Chains A and B, each alone.
Chain A
Amino acid sequence: MKLPSFVQHTFDHEIPGRARIRYVFGSGLFFAMALQVLTGIVMAFYYVPSAREAYASVYSIQYEVTWGWLVRGLHHFGASAVVVLAGLHLLQVFLSGAYRKPREMSWITGVLMLGLIMGFALTGYLLPWDQKGYFATQVATNIAGGVPVVGEATQTLIQGGTEYGTATLTRFYALHVFALPLGLLVLIVPHLIYFFRHGVTAPGKDLVSGRSIKFWPVQAFYDLVFITVILGVLLTLAVFVGAPLDAPADPSSSYVARPEWYFLFLFQILKYFEGPMMLLGTVIIPGLAATYLVILPWLDRSKENTLKARWKTVAPMAFGLVALAALTLVAMSEDANNKSYQAQLAVQAEEAKVAKKYARNGFTAYGTIEALEGRKLFRTHCTSCHEAEGEGTPECIDGKCPSDFGLCDSQEQCYRAPVLDHLGSRKWFLDQIERPDHPTKFGTILDKAGNAIFKGEMPSYADPDDESNFMQPTVRAGVVEYLIQGTGRRYDPPIDTALAKKGEEDFGECAYCHEPTEGRTGPLLIDVVPGSRPQVMRLAGYGSDAFLRSVLNDPGHERLYGELNVMPSFSHLHYTQQDALIAYLRTLCTDCVDP
């Protein structure tokens, strides 16, 4: 078998002395980068770089696409692996003194590639357009914006405008998948050419031994073992930890962002410099460190290879590394001991969980944000009376409820308005038919004087002893099937039209209270189609979005709860806030399949 010449060249290149474990880092790094390229390409089949769709597409990669979670997991942890391996590779090369003549070009191209790797990390972090990426990246671009004179223009240029948006995302995407890889390719070619020309920098005793061996098979074996270990670690992390995905980016939310762990030292430096001194931490110190690395081959021209002889270059490097490690550790421990930060983290994690639940139900990123916002509004404005998802309504104390609440029920819970779990679902309608006076429905609503408002106006239709009202379970199911058509939503299982037709016939009796007749007492369920002659009746949309909006604005309207109403109007909420509340309330329907 004849191998292509560059492969043959790789296999045959000579290593002075013997194969050594310390030479594995370059190959390991190369492998990790290749893995990023492959997993990246596969994810690009699904990713959509737009502020509207990015989150949904990443969500889909993570939770819907076959093994998408695995590929994304490998890419996520692979990014950390590249940074770690680049660091180790650099350190190994530095320790062996391999940056000096005649290998300057290998060194400089390597240092530049390290810069590109940081660029990859920075740009990639934003792409999911989730909270973490959004807010952490904003810190980075604001740093660029803080540089005197050119800063503002630079920031506008990076962001594609003065604010974050799709233009930012497309730029970061173009950089991440086209420009930076191209840069890497341009640099890695000379990096490797120079490497093969000069070979590894072996320790002195290997050089004087006068022996040399070929890369294949011993060194290749070391490299492969190392690569297998890297892959094993990444796979383990991808399977057992998994790539994180936060709630979608919401610029109006309070989110405490931290950069990825390998940038923590930069983040920590920022804390020590105030005002105009900030530049020192953001630009000058990192800039000096980078310059130091680039000019290292010319700073150190000694022929000696021992660390002692090279102390003038080794000392700053050692100092830099210690500082870097210390800053990272301090940043971590400050966060770990910061109670409010930890509490905020818990809130953020909870939000991410809820967001993913919404996303699973087919929400767009915007819809998810809206529903999350509505959830917050619900908990501010509604839970003093209503309960949903276990939030709201106090428990009984000593068998008593607070004065303006109804009676304690068997679950030792106090209610003063219907519980909104399952709102709009079949269960919701069925409950209303079967036990309208239950405490979780209208049973314990009190008027201002503390008297029950609902005095059995609506009977239970599931009470076999009440012969005049009893409905067979199939009849009840039919009426429910008929009524859910009014919500305008899609259900799983889908609406059974035949059953609904039957339900429409059985609904007849309900008309006394729920159709627009003289002396009607209940909310309108059936209404006249406006302008129809002869009159055509149709569902009034109880449980629909329009219904929810009317309830928010004017619950005492004669079409709704009329004189019996005790719910205040929420017309003071902005239209968009009402939208958000409705978006949230929609999520409570347990058998709806549309978000």
Chain B
Amino acid sequence: MNRRSFLVWANGVLGGIVGLVVAVPLLGPLLDPVLRKQGSGERPRVDVGPVDQFKPGTVTQTMLVTSKMDGPIKMPPRPDLGVFVIRDTAKTITVDAEGRSPNLKVLSRECPHLGCNVDYDKANGFLCPCHNSRFATEFEKAGTKQEIRAGATNPSPRRLDSLDARIEDGRLVIEVVHFRPGRPQAEPRA
């Protein structure tokens, strides 16, 4: 190897080392969100008030307000998740030992299709404004699954996701969970 080709070779090696030593550390922060466990993994439980505010046979839209860590920053309370609280027509609410009631159902407003917030009104029932997915609840005799999902557009892969809700000291406490859209089964994020 003559002097020139040695130098060319050495330059290649040095340049490679410098490039690598600079590039590799930069990858850490860039890929950090997938390298490091995100969030605390805990599911906040939100008290939405006395359970008797939800009248028999109604669908109530409300929001769950939490104060979570947002990355390194603790945020003041802010809306986290929109929900429907649905009560059946029974006059009284029965509660089991764990605080769960068969008369109440809490559904996440996040559309299982791609995550828009689903709307509710008497005429249309549960309807997603984005791509017209329609949903029923167990309390409504809206028809069979086929009927519900019938129509030209009804792209949601599953029903609305229900959330764990319990009655504690006469108040409704709901666990905040966000589910992944687009999957046939309900899978919590993280």
* Residues of A bordering B, CB below 8 Å: 31, 35, 38-39, 42-43, 45-46, 48, 52-53, 56-57, 59-61, 64-68, 70-71, 74, 216-218, 220-221, 224-225, 227-228, 231, 235, 362-364, 367, 490, 494, 529, 536, 538, 595
Contacts and interface: CB of A to CB of B under 8 A. Distances in A.
A67 B26 CA distance: 8
B123 interface: no
Nearest to B40: A593
Contacts of A45: 29-30
A38 B11 contact: no
Nearest to A53: B73
Contacts of A363: 74
Given A217-B11, A228-B17, A235-B21, A66 B28 contact: yes
A523 B31 CA distance: 52
B152 interface: no
Contact of A224 (B11, B30, B71): B11
Contact of B71 (A43, A60, A66): A60
Given A70-B25, A221-B10, A231-B22, A64 B42 contact: no
B7 interface: yes
Contact of B73 (A57, A61, A66, A228): A57
Most B CB within 10 A of own CB, among A46, A52, A59: A46
Contacts of A362: 69, 74
Given A60-B72, A218-B7, A224-B11, 17 more contacts: A39-B26, A42-B26, A45-B30, A53-B72, A57-B72, A66-B32, A68-B32, A70-B25, A217-B11, A220-B7, A224-B10, A224-B18, A231-B21, A231-B22, A362-B74, A529-B169, A538-B169
Contact of B29 (A43, A52, A224): A43
A60, A224, A494, A536: which has the most chain B beta carbons within 10 Å?
A224
Main secondary structure of the interface of B (DSSP, over half): helix
A112 B27 CA distance: 33
Interface string B1-35: 00010011011001101100110011111111001
26 contacts: A38-B22, A38-B26, A42-B26, A43-B29, A46-B71, A59-B72, A60-B71, A60-B72, A64-B36, A65-B28, A65-B32, A66-B36, A67-B25, A71-B29, A74-B25, A216-B8, A218-B7, A224-B10, A224-B11, A224-B18, A228-B18, A363-B74, A364-B73, A494-B42, A529-B169, A538-B169
Interface residues of B, number: 28
B73 A46 contact: no
Nearest to A364: B74
A46 B32 CA distance: 10
A46 B29 contact: yes
A48 B73 contact: yes
A42 B30 contact: yes
Contacts of A66: 28-29, 31-32, 35-36
B72 A70 contact: no
Contacts of B15: 224
Nearest to B3: A218
A217 B71 CA distance: 48
Contacts of B25: 67, 70-71, 74
Looking at chain A's contact residues, is the secondary structure mostly helix, strand, loop, or mixed?
helix
Interface of B: 4, 7-8, 10-11, 14-15, 17-18, 21-22, 25-32, 35-36, 42, 69, 71-74, 169
A173 to B, nearest CB: 16
A306 to B, nearest CB: 32
A228 B31 contact: no
Nearest to B5: A217
Nearest to A230: B18
A227 B10 CA distance: 13
A490 B4 CA distance: 67
Contacts of B72: 53, 56-57, 59-60, 64
B14 A56 contact: no
B7 A57 contact: no
Contacts of A31: 18
Contacts of B8: 216-217
A494 B41 CA distance: 12
A57 B71 CA distance: 8
Given A57-B73, A60-B71, A70 B14 contact: no
Nearest to A595: B74
Given A42-B26, A68-B32, A227-B18, A221 B7 contact: yes
A228 B69 CA distance: 41
A55 to B, nearest CB: 9
Given A60-B71, A217-B7, A362-B74, A35 B32 contact: no
A550 B8 CA distance: 77
Contact of B11 (A39, A67, A221, A536): A221
A562 to B, nearest CB: 29
A177 to B, nearest CB: 16
B29 A42 contact: yes
Nearest to B15: A224
Most chain B Cβ neighbours within 10 Å, of A57, A217, A228? A217
A43 B29 CA distance: 8
The list of the 6 closest CB pairs from A to B, nearest first, reads A67-B28, A60-B72, A217-B7, A224-B14, A66-B28, A66-B32
Contact of A217 (B4, B26, B31): B4
Nearest to B34: A66
A12 B164 CA distance: 71
Contacts of A35: 22
A22 to B, nearest CB: 19
A591 to B, nearest CB: 15
